[in-house]
A and B are shown apart, each in its own frame.
Chain A
């Protein structure tokens, strides 16, 4: 079998899922850093 199989769908899915997970986690961290700013400092 000399044909290179077309496995692009898996690659795309993996790259997208990976980005979603890591960027999603980064966003969750960012949201938590902003939200938990001490109320005292805002006054």
Chain B
């Protein structure tokens, strides 16, 4: 009787994802019905409750890829590669969500679909890089080589982050542009902060659920091809 370790992991991931999706539904409820509407931006300001959380989840996912990639190169434990693969894909999902909601917020508030501001630019470049990461993995047949090469890209991506942030920040100090996150009030009312924090927690949990499921799927795929 084989113990289906991968299956257990996937099932745990499903449970966590389920809870996280329920939390996401609560976020939607809180955001749409229990948070005050901001005066100058109108209802579009409520995108605050789903956009930065996606950015945070995406950045965290990609950052973790960098760390597990380094771990793989140092320890050559294949599980670290499987996890990197999982976190990279999940990071892309959140990245796409962030890049979709961003322009939808930007257009009514700034008058422009896009701004070269640090967070958007960073996410865009990382998404581009990790699309390349996925393409790279698809283009290599040997599992060991795939793991090694992916790890190199993962580490490079992590090191790139501060440079992108700094260069865009320097760019923007010369060309001041509207800041994304500040509602017109100097500090946010508690109802807004509460919803935002809850959203961040829900997205973090969603990351954990997604990555657990994806890790299990990767692990199962490896076991089958072994």
Residue in A7, A22, A33 whose CB lies within 8 Å of B43: A7
Instruction: Write out the residue numbers on chain A whose beta carbons fall within 8 Å of the beta carbon of B2.
Output: 40-41
Residue pair B108, A7 in contact (C-beta under 8 Å): yes
* Cα separation A13 to B2 with both chains bound (whole Å): 47
Q: Could you tell me how many residues of chain B have their Cβ less than 8 Å away from some Cβ of chain A?
A: 46
Shortest CB–CB separation between residue B87 and chain A, in angstroms?
A: 13
Residue in A7, A15, A41 whose CB lies within 8 Å of B50: A15
* Cα separation A11 to B37 with both chains bound (whole Å): 12
A interface with B by C-beta (< 8 Å): 4-8, 10-11, 13-15, 17-19, 21-23, 25-26, 29-30, 32-33, 36-38, 40-41
Residue pair A10, B216 in contact (C-beta under 8 Å): no
* Cα separation A5 to B107 with both chains bound (whole Å): 13
Shortest CB–CB separation between residue B225 and chain A, in angstroms?
A: 11
Instruction: Write out the residue numbers on chain A whose beta carbons fall within 8 Å of the beta carbon of B40.
Output: 4-5
Chain A residue, CB-CB nearest to B211: A29
**Known contacts A18-B97, A22-B97; A29 and B17 CB within 8 A of each other:** yes
